[in-house]
Protein backbone atom coordinates (compact mmCIF):
# COMPACT_ATOMS: atom_id res chain seq x y z
CA UNK A 1 0.00 0.00 0.00
CA UNK A 2 1.17 3.53 -0.87
CA UNK A 3 4.52 3.30 -2.54
CA UNK A 4 4.57 -0.01 -4.41
CA UNK A 5 4.60 0.60 -8.16
CA UNK A 6 3.00 -1.48 -10.90
CA UNK A 7 2.61 -1.43 -14.66
CA UNK A 8 -0.91 -2.84 -14.30
CA UNK A 9 -3.49 -0.28 -15.33
CA UNK A 10 -5.74 -0.37 -12.26
CA UNK A 11 -8.11 2.27 -13.67
CA UNK A 12 -8.65 2.34 -17.45
CA UNK A 13 -9.50 5.29 -19.73
CA UNK A 14 -13.24 4.69 -19.17
CA UNK A 15 -12.80 4.91 -15.42
CA UNK A 16 -13.32 1.16 -15.00
CA UNK A 17 -11.23 -1.02 -12.75
CA UNK A 18 -8.83 -3.88 -13.34
CA UNK A 19 -11.72 -6.42 -13.07
CA UNK A 20 -14.24 -4.30 -14.99
CA UNK A 21 -15.99 -2.91 -11.93
CA UNK A 22 -17.12 0.69 -11.63
CA UNK A 23 -15.43 2.64 -8.80
CA UNK A 24 -18.50 2.29 -6.54
CA UNK A 25 -19.20 -1.38 -7.31
CA UNK A 26 -18.92 -4.23 -4.82
CA UNK A 27 -17.56 -7.65 -5.71
CA UNK A 28 -20.25 -10.39 -5.70
CA UNK A 29 -21.20 -11.50 -2.18
CA UNK A 30 -22.90 -14.71 -1.09
CA UNK A 31 -23.71 -15.52 2.53
CA UNK A 32 -25.10 -18.69 4.04
CA UNK A 33 -26.08 -19.06 7.68
CA UNK A 34 -25.88 -22.20 9.82
CA UNK A 35 -23.38 -24.32 7.91
CA UNK A 36 -21.67 -26.19 10.79
CA UNK A 37 -23.36 -28.83 12.90
CA UNK A 38 -21.22 -28.58 16.05
CA UNK A 39 -21.03 -24.82 16.44
CA UNK A 40 -23.79 -22.89 18.24
CA UNK A 41 -23.90 -20.58 15.23
CA UNK A 42 -22.06 -20.39 11.95
CA UNK A 43 -21.90 -18.78 8.54
CA UNK A 44 -20.05 -19.15 5.26
CA UNK A 45 -19.30 -16.15 3.10
CA UNK A 46 -17.88 -15.68 -0.37
CA UNK A 47 -16.94 -12.14 -1.30
CA UNK A 48 -15.15 -11.84 -4.63
CA UNK A 49 -12.06 -14.01 -4.18
CA UNK A 50 -12.47 -14.26 -0.40
CA UNK A 51 -13.89 -17.34 1.28
CA UNK A 52 -14.50 -17.23 5.01
CA UNK A 53 -16.16 -19.51 7.50
CA UNK A 54 -17.25 -18.26 10.93
CA UNK A 55 -18.23 -20.34 13.97
CA UNK A 56 -19.63 -19.10 17.29
CA UNK A 57 -19.58 -20.99 20.60
CA UNK A 58 -21.19 -19.79 23.77
CA UNK A 59 -21.97 -18.11 25.99
CA UNK A 60 -19.89 -20.78 27.74
CA UNK A 61 -17.45 -21.05 30.62
CA UNK A 62 -14.63 -18.58 30.10
CA UNK A 63 -11.15 -19.97 29.48
CA UNK A 64 -8.59 -18.90 30.53
CA UNK A 65 -10.44 -18.29 33.80
CA UNK A 66 -8.51 -15.18 34.72
CA UNK A 67 -10.20 -13.51 31.73
CA UNK A 68 -13.63 -13.92 33.37
CA UNK A 69 -15.57 -10.72 33.99
CA UNK A 70 -18.06 -10.97 36.90
CA UNK A 71 -20.32 -8.40 35.24
CA UNK A 72 -20.35 -9.43 31.61
CA UNK A 73 -19.40 -11.93 28.95
CA UNK A 74 -16.05 -11.49 27.26
CA UNK A 75 -16.02 -11.67 23.50
CA UNK A 76 -13.02 -13.63 22.23
CA UNK A 77 -12.70 -13.35 18.47
CA UNK A 78 -10.03 -15.37 16.68
CA UNK A 79 -9.18 -14.55 13.08
CA UNK A 80 -7.00 -17.04 11.25
CA UNK A 81 -5.76 -17.31 7.69
CA UNK A 82 -5.28 -20.86 6.38
CA UNK A 83 -1.78 -21.49 5.06
CA UNK A 84 -3.30 -22.27 1.63
CA UNK A 85 -5.41 -19.09 1.55
CA UNK A 86 -2.81 -16.94 -0.22
CA UNK A 87 -0.59 -17.49 -3.26
CA UNK A 88 2.60 -18.01 -1.24
CA UNK A 89 2.12 -20.44 1.60
CA UNK A 90 1.30 -18.47 4.76
CA UNK A 91 3.18 -19.59 7.83
CA UNK A 92 0.56 -21.29 10.03
CA UNK A 93 -0.35 -19.96 13.44
CA UNK A 94 -0.93 -16.56 14.99
CA UNK A 95 1.09 -13.55 13.82
CA UNK A 96 0.90 -9.85 14.60
CA UNK A 97 -1.58 -9.18 11.81
CA UNK A 98 -4.04 -11.88 12.87
CA UNK A 99 -3.78 -10.81 16.52
CA UNK A 100 -4.56 -7.24 15.53
CA UNK A 101 -7.57 -8.30 13.44
CA UNK A 102 -8.85 -10.58 16.23
CA UNK A 103 -8.61 -7.68 18.69
CA UNK A 104 -10.46 -5.13 16.55
CA UNK A 105 -13.19 -7.64 15.73
CA UNK A 106 -13.63 -8.53 19.44
CA UNK A 107 -13.98 -4.83 20.20
CA UNK A 108 -16.48 -4.29 17.39
CA UNK A 109 -18.73 -7.07 18.74
CA UNK A 110 -18.45 -5.92 22.35
CA UNK A 111 -20.33 -2.82 21.23
CA UNK A 112 -23.36 -4.71 19.93
CA UNK A 113 -23.65 -7.87 22.04
CA UNK A 114 -25.64 -7.57 25.30
CA UNK A 115 -22.65 -8.92 27.20
CA UNK A 116 -24.07 -8.07 30.64
CA UNK A 117 -26.74 -10.74 30.16
CA UNK A 118 -24.08 -13.43 30.52
CA UNK A 119 -21.67 -12.57 33.34
CA UNK A 120 -18.53 -14.72 33.77
CA UNK A 121 -18.95 -16.38 30.36
CA UNK A 122 -17.10 -16.21 27.10
CA UNK A 123 -18.56 -15.84 23.62
CA UNK A 124 -16.02 -17.34 21.25
CA UNK A 125 -16.03 -16.27 17.64
CA UNK A 126 -13.75 -18.14 15.22
CA UNK A 127 -13.11 -16.88 11.72
CA UNK A 128 -11.16 -18.99 9.26
CA UNK A 129 -10.08 -17.41 5.99
CA UNK A 130 -9.92 -20.23 3.43
CA UNK A 131 -9.11 -18.01 0.49
CA UNK A 132 -7.89 -14.40 0.63
CA UNK A 133 -8.12 -11.60 -1.91
CA UNK A 134 -7.99 -8.44 0.24
CA UNK A 135 -10.75 -7.19 2.50
CA UNK A 136 -10.68 -10.33 4.62
CA UNK A 137 -11.15 -8.50 7.93
CA UNK A 138 -14.41 -6.99 6.58
CA UNK A 139 -15.45 -10.37 5.19
CA UNK A 140 -14.66 -12.09 8.51
CA UNK A 141 -16.54 -9.46 10.56
CA UNK A 142 -19.55 -9.68 8.24
CA UNK A 143 -19.63 -13.49 8.36
CA UNK A 144 -19.09 -13.64 12.13
CA UNK A 145 -21.95 -11.24 12.66
CA UNK A 146 -24.33 -13.63 10.86
CA UNK A 147 -22.88 -16.54 12.87
CA UNK A 148 -23.58 -14.66 16.14
CA UNK A 149 -27.18 -14.07 15.11
CA UNK A 150 -27.41 -17.72 14.06
CA UNK A 151 -26.22 -18.69 17.56
CA UNK A 152 -29.05 -16.60 19.03
CA UNK A 153 -26.69 -14.26 20.87
CA UNK A 154 -28.72 -11.17 21.86
CA UNK A 155 -27.35 -8.14 20.02
CA UNK A 156 -28.43 -4.59 19.37
CA UNK A 157 -27.96 -5.22 15.66
CA UNK A 158 -25.73 -7.00 13.19
CA UNK A 159 -22.39 -5.43 12.30
CA UNK A 160 -21.81 -4.83 8.60
CA UNK A 161 -18.43 -4.09 7.15
CA UNK A 162 -16.78 -3.00 3.91
CA UNK A 163 -13.60 -1.20 2.85
CA UNK A 164 -13.09 1.63 0.41
CA UNK A 165 -9.92 3.39 -0.62
CA UNK A 166 -7.92 5.16 -3.29
CA UNK A 167 -6.35 3.60 -6.35
CA UNK A 168 -4.49 5.61 -8.97
CA UNK A 169 -6.17 8.82 -7.79
CA UNK A 170 -9.68 7.34 -7.89
CA UNK A 171 -11.80 6.65 -4.80
CA UNK A 172 -12.96 3.04 -5.12
CA UNK A 173 -15.10 0.64 -3.14
CA UNK A 174 -14.09 -2.83 -1.95
CA UNK A 175 -10.46 -3.18 -3.10
CA UNK A 176 -9.19 -6.48 -4.40
CA UNK A 177 -5.65 -7.75 -3.92
CA UNK A 178 -3.93 -5.87 -6.79
CA UNK A 179 -5.68 -2.63 -5.79
CA UNK A 180 -4.77 -3.14 -2.16
CA UNK A 181 -1.12 -3.85 -3.01
CA UNK A 182 -0.59 -1.02 -5.47
CA UNK A 183 -3.24 1.48 -4.37
CA UNK A 184 -2.70 4.62 -2.29
CA UNK A 185 -5.14 3.97 0.55
CA UNK A 186 -7.40 1.28 2.03
CA UNK A 187 -9.94 2.04 4.72
CA UNK A 188 -11.94 -0.82 6.31
CA UNK A 189 -15.16 0.30 8.01
CA UNK A 190 -17.60 -1.56 10.27
CA UNK A 191 -20.92 -0.05 11.33
CA UNK A 192 -24.07 -0.79 13.30
CA UNK A 193 -26.52 -0.17 10.44
CA UNK A 194 -29.58 0.63 12.59
CA UNK A 195 -27.85 3.49 14.39
CA UNK A 196 -24.98 4.36 12.04
CA UNK A 197 -22.45 3.92 14.86
CA UNK A 198 -18.91 3.10 13.77
CA UNK A 199 -17.44 0.04 15.48
CA UNK A 200 -14.37 -0.42 13.27
CA UNK A 201 -12.37 2.13 11.31
CA UNK A 202 -8.80 1.73 10.15
CA UNK A 203 -6.74 3.33 7.44
CA UNK A 204 -3.68 2.18 5.59
CA UNK A 205 -2.24 4.96 3.39
CA UNK A 206 -3.12 8.64 3.08
CA UNK A 207 -6.27 10.53 2.11
CA UNK A 208 -7.11 14.24 2.11
CA UNK A 209 -10.12 15.26 4.20
CA UNK A 210 -12.26 15.53 1.07
CA UNK A 211 -11.13 12.08 -0.11
CA UNK A 212 -11.73 10.68 3.36
CA UNK A 213 -15.33 11.94 3.35
CA UNK A 214 -15.96 10.43 -0.07
CA UNK A 215 -14.38 7.11 0.97
CA UNK A 216 -16.47 7.06 4.16
CA UNK A 217 -19.72 7.63 2.34
CA UNK A 218 -18.94 4.96 -0.28
CA UNK A 219 -18.09 2.40 2.41
CA UNK A 220 -21.09 3.34 4.57
CA UNK A 221 -23.50 2.97 1.67
CA UNK A 222 -22.00 -0.46 0.88
CA UNK A 223 -22.35 -1.55 4.52
CA UNK A 224 -26.09 -0.93 4.27
CA UNK A 225 -26.27 -3.12 1.15
CA UNK A 226 -24.30 -5.86 2.92
CA UNK A 227 -26.67 -5.57 5.91
CA UNK A 228 -29.53 -6.57 3.59
CA UNK A 229 -27.55 -9.61 2.37
CA UNK A 230 -26.82 -10.64 5.98
CA UNK A 231 -30.49 -10.39 6.97
CA UNK A 232 -31.46 -12.22 3.81
CA UNK A 233 -29.12 -15.12 4.71
CA UNK A 234 -30.81 -15.38 8.14
CA UNK A 235 -34.28 -15.12 6.65
CA UNK A 236 -33.51 -17.87 4.14
CA UNK A 237 -32.45 -20.12 6.99
CA UNK A 238 -35.19 -19.31 9.45
CA UNK A 239 -38.06 -18.47 7.12
CA UNK A 240 -38.75 -15.06 8.68
CA UNK A 241 -40.45 -13.01 6.04
CA UNK A 242 -41.37 -9.91 7.96
CA UNK A 243 -38.84 -7.38 9.25
CA UNK A 244 -41.29 -6.56 12.06
CA UNK A 245 -40.88 -10.06 13.53
CA UNK A 246 -37.15 -9.52 13.84
CA UNK A 247 -37.68 -6.04 15.26
CA UNK A 248 -40.13 -7.32 17.87
CA UNK A 249 -37.69 -9.87 19.23
CA UNK A 250 -34.85 -7.30 19.26
CA UNK A 251 -37.07 -4.85 21.19
CA UNK A 252 -38.14 -7.56 23.68
CA UNK A 253 -34.51 -8.32 24.52
CA UNK A 254 -33.62 -4.63 24.69
CA UNK A 255 -36.43 -4.04 27.23
CA UNK A 256 -35.16 -6.75 29.55
CA UNK A 257 -31.65 -5.35 29.58
CA UNK A 258 -31.68 -2.65 32.30
CA UNK A 259 -33.10 -5.06 34.93
CA UNK A 260 -30.53 -7.71 34.21
CA UNK A 261 -27.73 -5.16 34.36
CA UNK A 262 -28.85 -4.13 37.86
CA UNK A 263 -29.21 -7.76 38.91
CA UNK A 264 -25.67 -8.53 37.80
CA UNK A 265 -24.27 -5.49 39.60
CA UNK A 266 -26.12 -6.33 42.83
CA UNK A 267 -24.92 -9.92 42.74
CA UNK A 268 -21.38 -8.67 42.22
CA UNK A 269 -21.63 -6.26 45.18
CA UNK A 270 -23.07 -8.99 47.45
CA UNK A 271 -20.20 -11.23 46.51
CA UNK A 272 -17.66 -8.49 47.23
CA UNK A 273 -19.20 -7.94 50.68
CA UNK A 274 -19.09 -11.63 51.48
CA UNK A 275 -15.45 -12.04 50.57
Residues that bind ligand ADP (CB under 6 A): 86, 88, 90, 97, 132-137, 177, 180, 186, 188
93: left (phi over 0), alpha (psi -120 to 50) or beta: left
**31 or 175: whose CB is closer to ligand ADP?**
175
CA pair distance 267, 252, nearest whole angstrom: 23
Q: How far is the CB of 272 from ligand ADP (least distance, A)?
A: 42
Q: How far is the CB of 212 from ligand ADP (least distance, A)?
A: 18
**150 or 186: whose CB is closer to ligand ADP?**
186
Question: Tell me, what DSSP letter sits at residue 20?
Answer: S
**88 or 244: whose CB is closer to ligand ADP?**
88
CA 40 to chain centre: 18
Q: How far is the CB of 190 from ligand ADP (least distance, A)?
A: 11
CA pair distance 133, 70, nearest whole angstrom: 40
H or E stretch at 131: strand 121-131
Q: How far is the CB of 154 from ligand ADP (least distance, A)?
A: 28
**223 or 264: whose CB is closer to ligand ADP?**
223
- How buried is residue 163: exposed, middle or buried, by Cβ count under 10 Å (0-12/13-18/19+)? buried
Q: Are strands 74-81 and 121-131 parallel, antiparallel or unpaired?
A: parallel
Q: Rounded to a whole number, what is the largest CA-CA distance in the chain?
A: 74
**86 or 246: whose CB is closer to ligand ADP?**
86
Q: How far is the CB of 171 from ligand ADP (least distance, A)?
A: 17
CA 125 to chain centre: 11
Amino acid sequence: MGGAKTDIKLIDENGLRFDGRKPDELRPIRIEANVLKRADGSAYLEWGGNKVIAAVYGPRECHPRHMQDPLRAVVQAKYNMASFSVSDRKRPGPDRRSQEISKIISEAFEHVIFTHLFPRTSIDVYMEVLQADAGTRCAALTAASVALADAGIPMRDLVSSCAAGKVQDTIVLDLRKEEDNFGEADMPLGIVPRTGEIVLLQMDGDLTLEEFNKTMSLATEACHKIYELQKDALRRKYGVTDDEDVQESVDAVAESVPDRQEEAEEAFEDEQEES
